[in-house]
Each structure stands twice: as C-alpha cells, then as structure tokens.
Amino acid sequence: MDEIKKLAEMLRQSKDTLVLTGAGISTESGIPDFRSPGTGLWTRMDPMELLSRPALERDPVGFWRRVEPMFRQMAEARPNEGHYALARLEKAGLIRGVVTQNIDSLHQKAGANVVLEVHGHLRSVYCPGCGAEEDMPAFLDRVAAGESLQCRCGQIFRPHVVLFGDQLPECFNTAWRWARVCDLLVVVGSSLEVAPVCWLVPEAKRVAIINMGSTQCDYLAEVVIRGRAGEILPALAAAAGE
Ligand code: APR
C-alpha cells in the first residue's frame, strides 16, 4: 500500500518520531477497546461506574470486584505483531519511544524500552496510607477469593491506574514536551476522544494516524491508514527496512 511506503519515507526523514498508542493496538491481543461500536467496553458499561475515582472511594471492595476480570485479562494478555513492530522500530532508532494510554504493559512485554504510560499501569497496587506495594496478580487472587483488600496499615490498596477524575502522572508532562519537539507523531489505535492526551496531536509538526475507525484528529494527519495495527505496523517496519 503506497500510504505505508509514504509513512516509511516520513519515518526515515524524521529525526525525532514519537508514537502515541491507544486501546486499538491491543484488541488483537484479545483486550477489547473502549469505543468501537458493539465491542468497546464503554458501549456495554458506564465508565464512570467502572473506572472512576468516586466509584473507588464510594465502594472500594465493589470497585475491585467489578474491575478484577478486566484487569486480569489485561495482566495475562500477550503482545501482538503491532507491539513487536514498534519495539523493532525503537531498537533501530527510527522512533524515540511510545506514549501509551494503555495500562496493559504490552509494549514493554514486546521489548520496548521507552514507554510513557500516561494512564498508568497494572503491574502493582499501592497503599494510599503507607505506600506499600503489592504485585497485581497476587492481589487480584485476593480479590477473586473474597479476601481482605486491606494493607497491614488498614487502608485498602489502590491501582496505579488513572481513573476518571484523577490527575495524570508526571510522565504526561514529558509526553507533552516530546510532542512539541518531535518531527513526526504517529498515532496508532486511538479514537483521540480523551483529553488531555488528544491535545498532544496538534502539538506535533507532522502527524500520521493508523486506526481502524475515524478519529477526532484525522484532519491534522498527512497520512491516515485505515486497518489493523497488527498488520500495518509490521508492513511499515518492513518498508522502513526493519
Ligand atoms: N487496529 C487499528 N485500530 C484499531 C484496532 C486495530 N486492531 N482495534 C480498534 N481500533 C481503533 C478503533 O477504531 C478506535 O478508534 O482503536 C480506537 C480505540 O479507541 P478507544 O476505544 O476510544 O480507545 P482509546 O483511544 O485508547 O481511549 C482512550 O479512554 O476510557 C479511556 O482510559 C481509557 O485510555 C483510554 C482512553
């Protein structure tokens, strides 16, 4: 496809390329995204009920019971060819790294080193009282077994996940700086409907978008490639010589 060849040429010309990923890069790993018609999580559940700060504060045990299946599925998922292709492009020095809205750690599992997790991660949970950390898989077993979710200090453990109503982590400021200086921002698998992450896109000098559906920022992109990330990214890496 000549759009892929054009994007490969833009990659080679760019001295500083940043990639921004969303849930669409992980659907081929079996993790549903949020807004795809019919299959997106938010077409079946109310995000404010499932992943909001008020929902956690109001009923922490109920919060953990509701999110346990989704968090377990993400924690157990494996990277797909799209994640591996991005890791190859990073190793080849063709991209600086990835800013991801995903909390599934699949970029790191695929070998990526530079990953800014602007919506947090699922590798562990923390106690808001004393700061104690516990591995997520072990903690999810406690949730599934109906065991106590309290830390020794008495507080209930929380996820390192940015919930609706939360501030974004410090790494978002880094993502903002990188987007402002990069030559090229490649968006993969995001509807770009959620702020402030979607505000990164207009900051970039040049934009390309790889996404199955249309996005809020298609008008900003020199190249828009419709299709599956698991197929397009390996073809892009190959066209770029990786
Ligand atoms: N290849 C390419 N694109 C895909 C694929 C795929 N295999 N599967 C789905 N997509 C596209 C969909 O068409 C959709 O436009 O990925 C996009 C995913 O968009 P969303 O579901 O809105 O996910 P995302 O943009 O990551 O959401 C951002 O919203 O709910 C919050 O915190 C949550 O991080 C999430 C944020």
For the entire predicted model, the pTM comes to 0.96
Instruction: Supply the CATH number for residue 147's domain.
Output: 3.30.1600.10
Task: Report pLDDT for 6.
Answer: 97
Same domain, 52 and 86: no
- Confidence (pLDDT) at 1: 62
Count of C-beta atoms within a 10 Å radius of residue 139: 20
Tens digits of per-residue pLDDT, 142-184?
Answer: 999 999 999 999 999 999 999 988 999 999 999 999 999 999 9
| Mutation test residue for ligand 1: of 171, 201, 212, 214, the one with most atoms within 8 Å of CB | 212
Residue 46's pLDDT is 83
> Tens of pLDDT along 75-88?
999 999 999 999 99
Looking at the structure, tell me whether residues 209 and 173 fall in a common domain: yes
Same domain, 238 and 219: yes
Residue ending a domain, choose from 137, 161, 185: 161
> How far is Cα 16 from Cα 202, in angstroms, rounded to an integer?
16
CA distance 232 to 176: 26
- Tell me, yes or no, if 160 is annotated catalytic: no
Tell me which DSSP letter residue 114 carries: -
- Asked if 199 and 211 sit in the same domain, the reply is yes
Low-confidence ranges of the chain (pLDDT < 50): none
Distance CA(130)–CA(153), nearest Å, equals 7
Return the CATH number at 207.
3.40.50.1220
Q: How confident is the model at residue 50, as a pLDDT?
A: 82
What's the 210 CA to ligand 1 centre distance in angstroms?
A: 11
> For every residue of 17-69, which 3-state class applies, written as one string?
EEEEECHHHCHHHCCCCCCCCCCCHHHCCCHHHHCEHHHHHHCHHHHHHHHHH
**Domain count within the chain:** 2
**Residues 54 and 1 occupy one common structural domain:** no
CA of 190 to the centre of ligand 1 (A): 4
| Final residue belonging to a domain, choices 99, 133, 161 | 161
| Predicted pLDDT at 215 | 97
8 and 85 fall within a common domain: yes
* Residue 142: domain span: 39-76+121-161
Atom of ligand 1 nearest to the CA of 162: 32
User: Whose CA is closest to 159, among 112, 205, 104?
Assistant: 104
d(CA 218, CA 72): 33
**Distance from Cα 34 to the centre of ligand 1, integer Å:** 6
The reply to whether ligand 1 has any atom less than 6 angstroms from the CB of 234 is no
Q: Is the Cβ atom of 83 under 6 angstroms away from ligand 1?
A: no
The answer, yes or no, to whether any atom of ligand 1 lies below 6 A from the CB of 82, is no
pLDDT at 49: 79
pLDDT for 62-73, tens place per residue?
A: 999 999 999 999
242 lines ligand 1 (CB under 6 A): no
- In a shared domain, residues 192 and 215: yes
Both 178 and 213 in a single domain?
Answer: yes
Q: Which of 136, 161, 186 is the last residue of a domain?
A: 161
Considering the domain architecture, whether residues 126 and 226 belong to the same structural domain is answered as no
